[in-house]
Structure 1
Amino acid sequence: MSIRSTRVGEQMKKELSDIIGRKIKDPRIGFVTVTDVRVTGDLQIAKVYISVLGDEEQRENTLKGLATAKGFIRSEIGQRIRLRKTPEIQFEFDESIDYGNRIETLIHEINHSDKED
């Protein structure tokens, strides 16, 4: 990734957090955290990684709500960030948080079993 695409990604992350948190009133969208935004080198596509508080159904509903609002979100980004062309937005779940929690649980279980021996 180029320095420019990294910078655009960081700016988009900041703006997306604000837009999703304040501007979108879709009841399907739960408590969303934008964890990362990765923009391709040609600034055409932005993969937005999110984590959602709640169960699998709430996660899926949030993704549907964000997909519905994608046009609005993209136009808001276009107004806030000065680019010739606003990147296409793709929402994905950030699996790294779940992965980290799983590792932490395993480490805790290992430590706990060591103390019992």
Structure 2
Amino acid sequence: MADPTRARKLADRIKVIVADALEKRVKDPRLGFVTITDARVTNDLQHATLFYTVFGSDEEKQGTALALESAKGVLRSEVGKRTGIRLTPTLTFTLDEVPETATQIQDLLKQAAEQDARVAALAAAAQPAGDPDPYKKPVDHTDDWDEDDEDDRDGDDAVDALDAAADVPRL
């Protein structure tokens, strides 16, 4: 069992080697505008999966898949020569679904933004169902206070008269 770091480094190296070999050594006319996007190697370094994208139609994608399958032996021997490892991993080519998925996600985000804009426009013109301000306000009881209602228990009429004259509420 190899170190995962070694497997990752080997995957990066295989990605570069295969991309270079596709550009310089493989002359198949079915090979379209192909890009190697990622490579993964198992921890035992026996199998490598290469992810690729093709710019073009579905027919060009199928032609590129056939060209990669037929060039697999040449590419594997090139990987073996340039990596110098004891066992050359088998190569498997897989069409990368990430660009199509990213496009679908962008379309969904665009639709969500349009829907949010419509909801915001409806909310701006909407009227509340009840009162415009449904929250209760605190009642100010200081205006209702009357000195005559207060029970005078201390018997100090002089202080009460001064307080009444000064309009100072007594606590």
Distance (Å, rounded) in 2 between the aligned partners of 1:91 and 1:55: 18
1:112: how far off? 2.8
Question: 1:41 and 1:47 mapped to 2: Cα distance?
Answer: 12
Residue matched to 1:94: 96
Match of 2:107 among 101, 105, 108: 105
Bigger relative contact order, structure 1 or 2 (CA pairs below 8 A, ≥6 apart): 1
The CA distance in 1 between the partners of 2:20 and 2:114, in whole Å, is: 41
Which protein shows a greater Rg? 2
User: Structure 1's 113 and 22: CA in aligned 2 closer, same or farther, altered over 3 A?
Assistant: farther
Q: For residues 14-70 of structure 1, what are the alpha-carbon distances to aligned partners after superposition, in whole Å with 9 as ceiling and x for unaligned?
A: 111111122211000101111110001111100000011111111111010010011
Greater per-residue strand proportion: 1
Q: Please give the alpha-carbon distance, in whole angstroms, between the structure 2 residues aligned to 1:81 and 1:98.
A: 32
What letter is aligned with 2:31? Answer: I
Q: How far apart are 1:95 and its partner, in Å? A: 0.8
- How far residue 116 of structure 1 moved from its aligned partner, in angstroms, is 4.3
> What is residue 12 of structure 2 aligned with on the other side?
10
When normalised by structure 1's length, the TM-score is: 0.93
Q: Please state whether the residue corresponding to 1:52 is helix, strand or coil.
A: strand
Q: Structure 1: any 5+ residue segments left out of the alignment?
A: none
Give 2:18's aligned amino acid: L
Letter in 1 for 2:29: P
Partner of 2:77: 75
Could you tell me how far apart the structure 2 residues matched to 1:116 and 1:33 are? Answer: 40
Matched with 1:58 is 60
CA distance in 1, matches of 2:39, 2:21: 14
CA RMSD after TM alignment: 1.3
SS of equivalent residue, structure 2 residue 92: strand
Q: 1:4 and 1:78 mapped to 2: Cα distance? A: 16
Q: Identity over the aligned pairs, expressed in percent?
A: 36
Offset at 1:114? 3.0
Q: Which of 36, 39, 43 is the matching residue for 1:37?
A: 39
Which 10-residue stretch deviates more, 82-91 or 106-115?
Answer: 106-115
Choose between structure 1 and 2: higher helix proportion. 1
